[in-house]
Amino acid sequence: MMGSIKCYWCGSSHTNVMMIHTLSGDRFICDSCLIRIKSAELNKDSCTVANMEIGVTYRVTVPSHHGEFRCGDHIRLLPDGTLECDEAAGWIPSENVSDATIGMKIRKEVKVK
């Protein structure tokens, strides 16, 4: 049962497609489009603590140099500058945030249904 499926991104039909979850539902996408989108998304959403939005959940993609935050941790910046971490069930006070997050990269957490 090898039919070809239309890639929602480039519109061409391929036999080798992946199903991905998007905000508008499950879609099929070909390999080359998937690679393009993934690299674009990583660059677009990747940021540091300096440009975090308050109250928004971010996922750690590159751990901090001294291991305070690990890859996959979910963190949130509070209005007083405290950085809280779900996995550690704790937080870093604002005056220590810049030291504790050296080298860390994060991206906005995308909600998946």
State the residues that interact with Zn ion by CB under 5 A. Answer: 7, 9-10, 30, 33
Provide the minimum distance between the beta carbon of 82 and Zn ion in the complex, in angstroms, as a whole number: 43
Residue identified by tokens 């809280």 is 84
Provide the minimum distance between the beta carbon of 14 and Zn ion in the complex, in angstroms, as a whole number: 7
Three-state SS at 111: coil
Query: Which residues 6+ apart lie within 8 Å of 100 measured at CB?
Result: 64, 66, 68, 69, 83, 92
Provide the minimum distance between the beta carbon of 21 and Zn ion in the complex, in angstroms, as a whole number: 17
Provide the minimum distance between the beta carbon of 24 and Zn ion in the complex, in angstroms, as a whole number: 17
Query: Which residue, 2 or 50, has its beta carbon nearer to Zn ion?
Result: 2
Distance (Å, rounded) from C-alpha 59 to C-alpha 75? 6
Query: Which residue, 33 or 83, has its beta carbon nearer to Zn ion?
Result: 33
Distance of CA 107 to the CA centre of its chain: 4
> Residue 79, exposed/middle/buried by CB under 10 A (0-12, 13-18, 19+)?
exposed
Query: Which residue, 35 or 71, has its beta carbon nearer to Zn ion?
Result: 35
